[in-house]
C-alpha cells in the first residue's frame, strides 16, 4: 500500500513540473484576429497557452491601427 501511495505521489509531483494535462491546468488555443468594419480580415497562427501564459494573453487589450482592430481570441 505504501508503494502505491508513493508511486501516485511521484506521478502527481511529476505532472506539476511538466505540462501534464492530468490535473487540467486550463489550457486554451489562442490566436490573434484582426477586424475591419466588424469583419474578420486576418488571423494569426494558433498556439496553445496554459497557466500564467494564458492569463497574460487574455489580459492584452485590443489594439486599433488605421481602423483595423486586433484581438486575442481563445477557445
Kindly tell me if the per-residue pLDDT of 15 is higher than 90.
no
- The larger pLDDT score, comparing residue 3 to residue 32, is at 32
Q: Where are the domains of the chain?
A: 24-75
pLDDT tens-place string over residues 21-38 = 555 568 999 999 999 999
pLDDT value at position 26?
A: 87
* Whether 73 contacts 48, CB under 8 Å: no
Amino acid at each position: 500500500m505504501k508503494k502505491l501511495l508513493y508511486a501516485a505521489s511521484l506521478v502527481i509531483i511529476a505532472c506539476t513540473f511538466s505540462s501534464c494535462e492530468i490535473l487540467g491546468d486550463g489550457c486554451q488555443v489562442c490566436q490573434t484576429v484582426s477586424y475591419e468594419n466588424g469583419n474578420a480580415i486576418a488571423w494569426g497562427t494558433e498556439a496553445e497557452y496554459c497557466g500564467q501564459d494564458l492569463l497574460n494573453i487574455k489580459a492584452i487589450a485590443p489594439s486599433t491601427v488605421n481602423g483595423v482592430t486586433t484581438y486575442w481570441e481563445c477557445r
